[in-house]
Amino acid sequence: MVAAALNISRAEVHGIVTFYHEFRRTPPGRHVLHVCRAEACQSVGAEATGAHFRRSLGINWHETTADGAVTLEPVFCLGLCASGPAALVDGRPAGRLNPARIDRMLETLS
């Protein structure tokens, strides 16, 4: 067991895995959306952007669609402040998001 090899308890491993969202206990979807929730993006509509993603996908933060296509993750600053509200789609930046752009983006991810 890895925990024994590292001389840490299972509780410590659990604490790390549940604290850091990039560590997962289950595989992510085929596509991962990281949606910025930091102040700069909040000031230009990130709350509505996140709500649109959640509603369109039918999932909440840290969840994966039933078909395994998309995992939705909130992040607190992507460094794309000048083009907010912003997201990363499979590690690629997407900025100035609005409902129509989100819908077009999601069509390509199924």
Helix axes 99-107, 46-57, angle to 10 degrees: 40
Given a cut of 70, whether residue 1 has pLDDT beyond it is no
The mean of the pLDDT values for the chain is 91
Beta bridge partners, 87, equal: 35, 94
Is position 12 within any domain? no
Given a cut of 70, whether residue 106 has pLDDT beyond it is yes
Which structural domain range is residue 72 located in? Answer: 29-107
Is position 10 within any domain? no
Say how many domains are in the chain: 1
Is position 15 within any domain? no
Rounded CA separation 70/53 (Å) = 11
Sheet of 92-94: strand order equals: 63-64, 70-75, 31-36, 87-89, 92-94
Q: What is the pLDDT of residue 58?
A: 97
Q: Of 76 and 25, which is predicted with more confidence?
A: 76
Given a cut of 60, whether residue 110 has pLDDT beyond it is yes
Cis bond before residue 85 (omega within 30° of 0): yes
Is position 56 within any domain? yes
Given a cut of 80, whether residue 15 has pLDDT beyond it is yes
Given a cut of 70, whether residue 29 has pLDDT beyond it is yes
Q: What is the pLDDT of residue 4?
A: 64
Rounded CA separation 63/76 (Å) = 17
Is position 2 within any domain? no
CATH assignment at residue 34: 3.40.30.10
